[in-house]
Amino acid sequence: MSEETAYRDAIRKWAAAHHVPQNALDRWLDWSETDALALLAVARDLRLRTGQVLSALEMLAEIGVREGQGAASILAHAELRPIIRGGGSRPERARALIDKLRELRYPRLSRTRTKMEAAVAAMSLPPGLTVALPKDLSSDELMIRLTVRSAGELDRLLAALAARKEKIKALIEVLGGSDEV
């Protein structure tokens, strides 16, 4: 068996064992040998689940298009190397890898969301009052939810909400593009 066939067979074998859909496998096999094997090595080392491999495949390809890099170079990135090679359980590292890839794939979205989540956390909302950011910051709707069981609780939560009105307004402004993103 030639080396060319051997690496492709290794990927096919892993994909078959993990029920990777054919179109995803085709994309994987379209990569250069170095890139395709880099993902296989990570998938084996971290025992990635099928969904995680599919996410990694898509994000690595998209980061690659934008940055002009192959999967092997991206996976050797200084921010990813410690996750892949570092300590911790494999499931934790697998999750961390996907999270970090998402940060690299959506850098400005990640920064903005982190900043907004920190602003929500800094409000120290009481139990029963939540401020929820839209998923992936995909809309300009901020959801504020009050959960009450008594009139007194309603008064307390409304007062807590009123006390945070300016901070919530600032959050709405960030959602509406007022800040450097």
Residues that bind other proteins (CB under 8 A): 62-63, 65-66, 68, 106-109, 112, 134-141, 174-181
User: In the complex with other proteins, which residue's Cβ is closer, 17 or 118?
Assistant: 118
Residues in the chain: 181
CB of 79 to other proteins, least distance (A): 18
User: In the complex with other proteins, which residue's Cβ is closer, 27 or 95?
Assistant: 27
CB of 42 to other proteins, least distance (A): 21
With 0-12 / 13-18 / 19 or more C-beta atoms within 10 angstroms meaning exposed / middle / buried, residue 60 is buried
User: In the complex with other proteins, which residue's Cβ is closer, 103 or 153?
Assistant: 103
With 0-12 / 13-18 / 19 or more C-beta atoms within 10 angstroms meaning exposed / middle / buried, residue 123 is middle
CB of 108 to other proteins, least distance (A): 6
User: In the complex with other proteins, which residue's Cβ is closer, 40 or 171?
Assistant: 171
Helix (H, G, I), strand (E, B) or coil at 129: strand
Q: Look up residue 151 and give its amino acid.
A: A
CB of 178 to other proteins, least distance (A): 8
CA pair distance 25, 40, nearest whole angstrom: 11
